[in-house]
Each structure stands twice: as structure tokens, then as C-alpha cells.
Amino acid sequence: MLFDIHTHLNAEQFEEDLDEVIERAREAGVSSMVVVGFDRPTIRKTMELIERYDHLYGCIGWHPVDAVDMREEDLAWIEQLSRHPKIVAIGETGLDYHWDKSPKDVQKAVFREQIRLAKKLSLPIMIHNREATEDVIQILKEEHAEETGGIMHCFSGSPEIAKECIKMNFFISLGGPVTFKNGKQAKEVAKEVPLAYLLLETDCPYLAPHPFRGKRNEPAYVRYVAEEIARIKGLPLEEIAEITANNARKIFKIADGKG
């Protein structure tokens, strides 16, 4: 059974047909999903969804693009909510140098605060990194993020960077781009990273895999990611599904039989 470790089922794109989307995921063999809340509205929606669906878990934090909007009370609120038994990670947090809404120094400060919170709560960290690899790695090292570890969400770096992240107790999560015909680096990462450190995700409704590229992504499509990794690794789909789901349960501290 597949485990989609990063979804945005709390997004407005799913408001009209969420139950159907979740049913299609079940039919595709997706047994568990993590819903990521990264600002006030999406965090609130995440908490609602994990209460409503047994096989949904939550990850909450503050997105780097919106770091400039975060207040002290927001961090305290996230800490309070994170004590819910179905909140399994802090994030997504990190750095995003593609957009210029939040100054880099503000992003870095908010990133460090969330790493420290994750360590305080003994929860893994869900890392968002866009065009900021050097600074992300430096901050993770300076904050000793290896103490709690986490996930490099929608990893877009090189196999060498992936190996550096693994040394810091981070798993490498691959999504739709590994299926793209021009996704050579993602395919190389899938080939080089040991299965024991791989995770699967959709990041839905974004980054739909081939052959749905450019359309709304949904958790059922994580199967296409698994199929491509199985092809690259030369292993059966069932083995990829089982190992990556076990990896997810390990990093999220979810007991066997609960997803």
C-alpha cells in the first residue's frame, strides 16, 4: 500500500470533490496521506481533516514564502496544535529564494525557530527548498537538525546533495518530476539514493506526474511516481510501495497497522 507523504488536500482546488479524491486514492492503493498546513487557513483545515479521516495525518508549520507574516503567537499556536497525536511533523519550512515576498533574513530566522520547535517536540521536519540549497544545508547543520531528522520534500537537488542530507538523518522524497521526460536529475537521484531513504509524494494539487502534467494533481497519482521509481530501480512496484510506506511510518513514528 502506498503512502503519500506530502499533500495539500486542504487546498481550495479540492473543495468541490474531496471525498471522491480520497476514494480514488484508496482505489489506487494509497493507504495513508499526510496533509501539510503552512499558514493560518491551511493549518486550521489540516486539523479538521485529520479528525475526519482515519488515514490522514498532519504536518503543520510556516511556509518560507510567507515567513514575513508569521508572529510569535503563530509559533506558539503551532506548538500547541502539534501535540495532537496525528500531527507527525513540523513544516513545511525552509527557504524559498524564487519568490521575493519574504526577505532572506526573515526566512532564515523563521526556519531556525521551526527547527528548534521540531527538536523540542521530537518531531521530524518537512523541508521546503527552492533555489536555496547551500543556505538550507548550512542552517540544518548549524541547528543540529540531525537530532530529529526529517524529509527533503519534493527533492530537486543532485545525488551528491541527497547523500549529504541522508548523513543528516533526512529522507529524500520524490514526486511528479521524477516521471517527466526532462527529469534527468530526479531520475538519477531515484537511482542513486538507497531505498531505505526514499519516500513518495504528490505535493498535490501541484506537480502532477506524467501523463497528467499541467493538470490538477491528486494522491491517486502517487502510484505513477512509485511505478517510475520501480522501473529505475528494476524492482516490483509492490516492493517500492512497501519499503517507502515503511520508511514513512518510521520517520513519522506511526505504528504498523495504522496506515
Of 110, 104, 105, 106, the closest CA to residue 92 belongs to 110
The dihedral built from the CA positions of residue 191, 64, 88 and 206, taken in this order, carries a sign that is negative
- Is residue 77 in a domain? yes
Q: Say whether 92 counts as a known binding-site residue.
A: yes
Contact 46, 35 (CB under 8 A): yes
Cα distance between residue 136 and residue 84, in whole Å: 28
Is 95 part of a structural domain of the chain? yes
Does a structural domain hold residue 104?
yes
Instruction: Find out whether 153 is annotated in a ligand binding site.
Output: yes
User: What DSSP letter does each residue of 131-175 carry, written as one string?
Assistant: S-HHHHHHHHHHTTGGGT-EEETT--S-HHHHHHHHHTTEEEEE-
CATH of the domain at 171: 3.20.20.140
Question: Can you give the pLDDT at residue 259?
Answer: 46
Contact between 9 and 203 (Cβ < 8 Å): no
| pLDDT at residue 255, rounded to an integer | 81
* pTM of the shown model: 0.97
Residue 258 lies in a domain: no
The answer to whether 6 is a known ligand-binding residue is yes
Query: Could you tell me if residue 257 is inside a domain?
Result: no
259 domain-assigned: no
Q: Is 48 annotated as a binding residue?
A: no
Widest distance between CA atoms in the chain:
49
Per-residue pLDDT of the chain (259 residues; tens, 9 = 90+): 999 999 999 999 999 999 999 999 999 999 999 999 999 999 999 999 999 999 999 999 999 999 999 999 999 999 999 999 999 999 999 999 999 899 999 999 999 999 999 999 999 999 999 999 999 999 999 999 999 999 999 999 999 999 999 999 999 999 999 999 999 999 999 999 999 999 999 999 999 999 999 999 999 999 999 999 999 999 999 999 999 999 999 999 998 644 4
Torsion (CA) 46, 47, 48, 51 in degrees, nearest 10: 120
84 labelled ligand-binding? no
* Domain presence at residue 108: yes
Distance (Å, whole) CA 81 – CA 143: 23
Which pLDDT score, from 0 to 100, does residue 256 have? Answer: 62
Distance CA 83, CA 22 (A): 25
Query: How far is it, in rounded angstroms, from Cα 21 to Cα 17?
Result: 6
Q: Which range marks the domain in which residue 42 is found? A: 2-252
Residue 51 maps to a domain: yes
Is 203 annotated as contributing to ligand binding? yes
Domain count, the chain: 1
SS3 at position 1:
coil
